[in-house]
Chain A
Amino acid sequence: MRCFNCGAELTINPFCTNCGADIREYRRIMWASNQYYNDGLTKAKVRDLSGAVLSLRACLKLNRTNIEARNLLGLVYFEMGEAVAAFSEWVVSKSMKSDKNIADDFMETIQANPSRLATINQSIKKYNQALAYAKQGSLDLAVIQLKKVLQMNPNLVVAYELLGLLYLESEEFKRARRILSQAMRIDRNNTRILYYLKEAEDGIAARFQQDSPRGRKQEGRASADSITYTSGNETIIQPVNTIEKGGSSAAVNIIIGLVIGCALMFFLVLPARIRSASSEMDDQLKEVSDELTVKNADLEEQDKKIEALQSENDELKGSLGDLAGSSGMSERYDHLAEAALNYIKNPEDVTGTEALLKLIPVENSPEETVSLEILPSTSSGLDPTIYSQAFRDLYSYLDNDVSSRAARTYIDSGREKLENDEYQAAIADLLKATEIAPLNDEAWFYLAESYKESGDSIHATQAYSKIVNEMADSPYAGKAKENLSNGAATENDDQGDDNGRAADDNDDNDNTEGALSEEDIAAQQLAAMQVLQAAAGAGTTETGAE
Chain B
Amino acid sequence: MIDFEEELKKFHPSPEVEDAENQIRALDVTDMVDLIVHLEERNNIR
Contacts and interface: CB of A to CB of B under 8 A. Distances in A.
Interface of A: 4-5, 21-22, 25-26, 29, 33, 60-65, 82-85, 87-88, 91-92, 117, 121, 124-125, 127-128, 131, 134-135, 156, 158, 161-162, 165, 168-169, 192, 195-196, 199
A63 B32 contact: yes
A193 B45 CA distance: 50
Given A21-B40, A29-B33, A60-B31, A87 B7 contact: no
Contacts of A156: 14
Contacts of A165: 2, 4, 7-8
A84 B36 contact: no
A365 to B, nearest CB: 116
A131 B10 CA distance: 11
Contact of A88 (B23, B33, B37): B23
B33 A63 contact: yes
13 contacts: A4-B33, A5-B37, A62-B32, A65-B31, A83-B17, A88-B27, A128-B13, A131-B13, A158-B11, A165-B4, A165-B7, A168-B4, A192-B10
Contacts of B27: 88, 92
Interface of B: 1-2, 4, 7-8, 10-11, 13-17, 19-20, 23-24, 27, 29-34, 36-37, 40
B2 A199 contact: yes
Given A21-B40, A62-B32, A199-B1, A82 B20 contact: no
A121 B20 CA distance: 11
Contacts of B16: 84, 121, 124-125, 128
Nearest to B15: A84
Nearest to B10: A192
B13 to A, nearest CB: 4
A106 to B, nearest CB: 14
A196 B1 CA distance: 10
A126 B16 CA distance: 10
B17 A128 contact: no
B17 A117 contact: yes
**Those 5 A-B pairs whose CB atoms lie nearest each other, nearest first:** A64-B31, A84-B15, A121-B17, A128-B13, A169-B4
A26 B17 contact: no
A26 B19 CA distance: 35
A196 B11 CA distance: 14
Contact of B11 (A26, A92, A131): A131
Contacts of B36: 4, 25-26, 29
